[in-house]
Structure 1
């Protein structure tokens, strides 16, 4: 019986492993190319798989660029934007889900309408606002516009709607105010959902290109997605140095994912059960 079940699942396993291989091939190629000597031919399999291998590209990246400054900028923007978005989204979701007030439905619909507006449509007014405030080439310009995330409010509201009212009523009887109820009951219960939302926000912030490109003209304020293309120009065909920069740039995001991967899986599982 077990053999029959395994045989029926074999095509699914083959398809799954095939998809994983397709996704890993570009990453393996990037990692492999980064260890080839500068100006090596990396588009031919035979040349790519044969020695020599060297750390020359990584040395060149650190000596000829501000790679660590760009990494710090991306980490600062990603961490603060993630924390700020989780805080605001959680408070807004709690208010809309549990606090009765006039116009609550209209406000929630207004937040949902933000999901339907393309990001590109808000670029011009946001940029004009940043210029008027004098925030060009600053952390507030990179961080604040991304904190208001309608999707975060929607996800957390749906989770808060499923929390039993008895918990909130019991806390009120014990004398807890709304802020205390949010902090002591709703936040601990939503840890898995917030962890899944946090990885989504962090990756989105880490990979954001258009907005940092507009508001960070100074090289010292660039984030990694904006700065890495500077390693490649129309006057050079070398791929080893850009690939080394990409490997270094992917390490913080990979560490962040490995730290929160258990919470992400739990959050997805709980969402499916609900």
Structure 2
């Protein structure tokens, strides 16, 4: 049985390595193509043959504000994540701790917001921000997404599982609602906060449709709209666009490598909930 078990574990390991290689193959192809000189032939097998050069990266960094787009994406994603965590916590805590009049109706109304696709509110959202003179600003990228039903529901479900005796003891000691939130609830809710923060950051980072409509200035573009804007000038040559794609993928890969355990825990946590 031990021999069969060891053989089975080796087979699973080999299969997992093959699947991981297949998932990584497009990324490997992008990196290799980005190192080919501009105008190189990219037929079958030709993308593996030398020469290779970093000239495409120099060209991208000197001919387009890629680093500025990266900074814009990081800034917008970071600020949005902070606001989503803060507002979702402030909204979820009373829903979990109290049963006020209209509680169920209001909760189901917020829950129904998840079923409304973002495309359905693009026109009224555009008119609203146009009338407020906020189009083509970073505020137009942050404000529409800082109050999300998903964050409230996720944190409420987690808050519901915390022992109510903690709040009763805190009330007896004269602890107010905000102190209970920031000294008891949030420190105990780090897995839920990490899951919400990671999903919010990655979702904001890759958002395309609304930033494409709201932003028109090149110096305010984020990565998802800046890179297509840059790649539009290259209809045949794939090497330079691939170099740009590699550059803007580095921050996301770094975030994944640093927070991979939290991402996995967050996926399993949200799946259970």
- Using the size of structure 2 for normalisation, the TM-score is 0.93
Cα distance 1:263–1:236, how it changes in 2: closer, same or farther (>3 A)?
Answer: closer
Aligned to 2:116: 117
Is structure 2 residue 40 aligned with structure 1 residue 40?
A: yes
Which shows bigger deviation, 236-245 or 6-15?
6-15
Match of 1:58 in 2: 57
2:22 — aligned with what?
A: 22
Q: Which secondary structure does the structure 1 equivalent of 2:134 belong to?
A: coil
Distance of aligned partners of 1:6 and 1:197 in 2 relative to their CA distance in 1, 3 Å threshold: farther
Contact 2:88 2:152 in 1 (8 A): yes
Deviation at 1:8, TM superposition (A): 4.2
CA distance in 2: counterparts of 1:149 and 1:273, whole angstroms: 20
Q: How many residues align?
A: 273
Deviates more, 1:231-240 or 1:71-80: 231-240
Partner Cα distance (1:256, 1:17) in 2? 22
Paired residues of 2:72 and 2:222 also in contact (CA < 8 A): yes
- TM-superposed CA distance for 1:171, in Å, is 1.2
1:215 matched residue in structure 2: 214
Residue of structure 1 equivalent to 2:164: 165
Give ranges in structure 2 of 5+ residues lacking alignment.
none
1:246 equivalent in alignment to 2:245: yes
User: Structure 1 residues 271 and 211, CA, compared in 2 at 3 Å: closer, same or farther?
Assistant: closer
- Cα distance in 2, alignment partners of residues 206 and 227 from structure 1: 12
- 1:235/1:10 CA distance change after superposition, 3 Å: closer
Report the TM-score when normalising by structure 1. 0.93
CA shift, 1:21, in A, is 2.1
- Aligned ranges 1:1-274 → 2 under 5 Å: 1-9=1-9, 12-45=12-45, 47-233=46-232, 236-268=235-267
CA gap of 1:43–1:205, structure 2 versus 1, over 3 A, is farther
Distance change >3 Å, CA 186–CA 264, structure 1 → 2: farther
Contact 2:234 2:241 in 1 (8 A): no
CA distance in 1, matches of 2:130, 2:271: 44
Residues 86, 198 of structure 1: 8 Å contact kept: yes
Say which is worse superposed, 130-139 or 227-236, in terms of deviation.
227-236
Per-residue deviation, 1:205:
0.6
